[in-house]
Structure 1
Amino acid sequence: MEPSSLRQTRAWVESFVVAHDICPFAGREMRRDSIRYVLAEASDLEGLLHELVAECRHLDAHADIATTLLIAPAGMDDFDAYLDWLELAERLMEELGYVGIYQLASFHPDYVFDGVAADDPANATNRSPWPMLHILREAELERAIANHADPEGIPERNMARLREPGSAALAAGLAARGVE
């Protein structure tokens, strides 16, 4: 049986990210079954960084996978510790020559954008059931952006939609994360 963290993440992608067009590129990859969901076994920074490298190497060897969600169910509960992981991960990606090949996006249950209040509904765009790093193929991202009318406007559109009173997208995001 699939671990609950994987089931919850898949449900979040389907019922929030895709269903509410939070990422207009995710639906295509979900339909193509080209999203890889990986449950990290490590709970410490060093181990998680090793798993990130292993996942990049897996992507190197499997061109049919468009993107990976590396889910960290243990060790990254604290948002500040998670940000440390993200910072080290980005540096490691640079050191390994993955800049321009892969890009990291970040998601955490307690995600707060810099300069935004913790209770601002706009934070829900990056709040997920579990701490995770999203490894995107740059080539896939560039292809998707080239076919989108306003890729720069996506974050602002999402933030505005989530801030609307009675936002269905916000309610779906909270439900997918198990928050009532």
Structure 2
Amino acid sequence: MGEQGACAHELEMIHATRHWVDTAVIGLNLCPFAKAVQSKGLVHYAISQARDTRSLLKDLAKELMTLADLPAQERDTTLLIVPYMLDDFLDFNDFLDDADALLERLNLSGQLQVADFHPRYQFAGTDIDDVSNYTNRAPYPTLHLLREESIDQAVQAFPDASDIFERNIDKLQALGIKGLRELGLAYEERK
């Protein structure tokens, strides 16, 4: 369910996710490609009501097919917020295999991809409180549906795209957990 028809609680979730996009992703410039699509209103925010894998796959399929059917000038990307399940990061991480398999079944592999964000995101080989994990931490488990073509165009426009991750870690280390808390970005502490 998108913003239209969302209840007050769901609107709060969408606003929290927009705050994260505006403050962390754009404000800290964690993704130099995000500002343009956000400012043009090309990011669709949707809430999944799912409480089981089958329902979530159904919601994900609907959002993937809608994104594929719409022109990029109308909707470039979708953030599917999953607030009612996958609270455990390992369960969320396991679900990503199902998401990739769904892309294949829908014949959308190579056209769309699914990126992942979670309040307790943890990269392999890091401690849970390692600041580098905050590059992928969002207020709720979130599936980011992206167009491959848009990614390719963004990478061409930003020649040092491979350096983004390292720059992000440097930014976050300079900011520290205290700075992230001050910006309201310490989501794993909400529980």
Please indicate, yes or no, whether the TM-score normalized by the shorter chain is above 0.5: yes
2:50 is aligned, of 42, 48, 66, to 42
1:171 and 2:180 matched:
yes
- Using the alignment, how far apart are the partners of 1:6 and 1:83 within structure 2? 22
Residue type at the aligned position of 2:122: V
Does the 8 A contact of 1:36 with 1:68 survive in 2?
Answer: yes
Distance 1:173 1:96, change over 3 A: farther
Residue type at the aligned position of 1:61: D
Shift of 1:149: 2.4
- Using the alignment, how far apart are the partners of 1:173 and 1:135 within structure 2? 29
Shift of 1:116: 1.3
- Using the alignment, how far apart are the partners of 1:173 and 1:136 within structure 2? 30
SS in 2 for 1:175: coil
Shift of 1:118: 1.1
1:135 and 2:163 matched:
no
SS in 2 for 1:3: helix
Distance 1:173 1:115, change over 3 A: farther
Cα-to-partner distance string for 1:37-75 (whole Å, 9 max, x where unaligned): 000011111111111110011112221211000000001
Listed as ranges, the gaps of 5+ residues in structure 1 are none
Does the 8 A contact of 1:35 with 1:68 survive in 2?
Answer: yes
Shift of 1:168: 9.0
Distance 1:170 1:148, change over 3 A: farther
Shift of 1:169: 10
With 168-177 and 27-36 compared, the bigger mean Cα shift is at 168-177
Superposed counterparts of 1:83-122, under 5 Å: 83-122=93-132
Q: What residue number does 1:61 align with? A: 69
Higher RCO structure, 1 or 2 (CA under 8 Å, sep 6+) = 1
Shift of 1:4: 1.3
Listed as ranges, the gaps of 5+ residues in structure 2 are 1-7
Does the 8 A contact of 1:124 with 1:173 survive in 2?
Answer: no
Shift of 1:83: 1.1
Does the 8 A contact of 1:12 with 1:177 survive in 2?
Answer: no
SS in 2 for 1:105: strand
- Using the alignment, how far apart are the partners of 2:51 and 2:59 within structure 1? 10
Distance 1:35 1:173, change over 3 A: farther
Distance 1:141 1:87, change over 3 A: same
1:5 and 2:13 matched:
yes
> Identity of paired residues, percent?
35
State the number of aligned residues: 179
- Using the alignment, how far apart are the partners of 2:146 and 2:26 within structure 1? 16
Q: RMSD value over aligned CA atoms?
A: 2.0
1:71 and 2:81 matched:
yes
Does the 8 A contact of 2:44 with 2:78 survive in 1?
Answer: yes
